[in-house]
Amino acid sequence: MFIVENYSVAILFCFVTMLCWGSWANTQKLAASSWRFELFYWDYVLGILFTAAVFAFTLGNSGGQGRPFLTDMQQAASSSIGSALIGGVIFNAANILLVAAIAVAGMSVAFPVGIGIALAWGVVINYIDNPIGNSVLLFSGVGLIIIAILLNAFAYRRASATQKKVSTRGLALSVVAGILMGFFYKYVAASMFPDFANPEPGKLSPYSAVFIFAIGILLSNFLFNTILMKRPVAGAAVNEVVPRRQKHLGAGGRRDLEHFKLIFVGPRIRALGAIVPAGRLLPRARHDGMLPTKYKHLLKLAL
């Protein structure tokens, strides 16, 4: 498997990681005007699993060190797989609450509070569990990052053209999301062998652990997101926003099929962090999940 051995490359990867972690929520904000966050989140979860699989089958099988991805999966102990799955479930619970908080309170409030708490609390939890490194430098760096996030959020709110009252519910969701998110990594780390160049029997490589982690996110999403779709934190249930003119499709299974279409044939198709405005190509799909006759073949492909 591919292992980062150069210090400069490691710093570059950390920078890319923080850049992606700090900006992915913008995609939800871009889609918020026409795409409910509960439906957006299905795309997000599928994107995580797809990306984890791509890295596992490419970088996870390259290089001469460590164990190849498939070999690593075959020898993995159930305890290691379970630990990575638990990490995925905890992360998904935290992340879906964070996305809900963004939808309720706005990004300038929800994201800094949620991610700031997750970062600070996560460092404390993981350092207690595995105290490696210079604690002074570590916690000083975390403190500076938190200050930067808070100052950025404050500047964003000051520069906003429209001011609105902060939602107490959204703030509470952000705090709970941050606390939960601080716990997930310890379970993922427990499933991996610490020295990536020297695999341990029963343990997972980083690529295998992230793949199992993504499966845990997807499986738990059928519970967490389904509950939010039926009992959202804001607005009506997702099935209640389907226009009345779909009555001719009938109830029951046919209406569930329409909800499936709303998830996978919508205003924006999200893949690998990019958003494509499909609403321009499929104008009626943006409003009621129904496709024009000339696009029926796309619906058959989607289903």
Kindly give the confidence (pLDDT) of every residue in the chain, 303 residues in length, as a single tens digit, with 9 standing for 90 and above: 888 888 899 899 888 888 887 777 777 777 767 777 788 888 889 999 999 999 999 998 887 788 889 999 999 999 999 999 999 999 999 988 888 888 777 777 777 888 888 888 888 888 887 787 788 888 888 888 778 777 766 766 665 555 556 567 777 888 899 899 988 988 999 999 888 888 889 999 999 999 999 999 999 999 998 888 888 776 667 765 444 334 434 444 444 444 444 434 333 333 333 333 333 333 333 333 434 444 444 444 444
What pLDDT does residue 216 have?
Answer: 95
> What is the C-alpha to C-alpha distance for residues 38 and 42, in angstroms, rounded to an integer?
7
Neighbours of 194 (CB within 10 A): 10
Rounded Cα–Cα distance for residues 100 and 177 (Å)? 10
pLDDT at 147: 84
Q: Which of 235, 98, 96 is closest to 171 using CA atoms?
A: 98
Q: Are 52 and 213 in contact (CB under 8 A)?
A: yes
> How far does Cα 21 stand from its chain's mean position?
9
Give the integer Cα–Cα distance in Å for 115 and 42. 21
How many DSSP H helices and E strands does the chain contain? 12, 2
Query: Rounded to whole angstroms, how far apart are CA atoms 243 and 285?
Result: 12
pLDDT at 301: 45
Decide: pTM greater than 0.75: no
Rg from Cα positions in the chain: 21
* Region for residue 205 given its phi and psi (left: phi exceeds 0; alpha: psi -120 to 50; beta: otherwise): beta
Per the rule left: phi > 0, alpha: psi between -120 and 50, beta: everything else, 214 is alpha
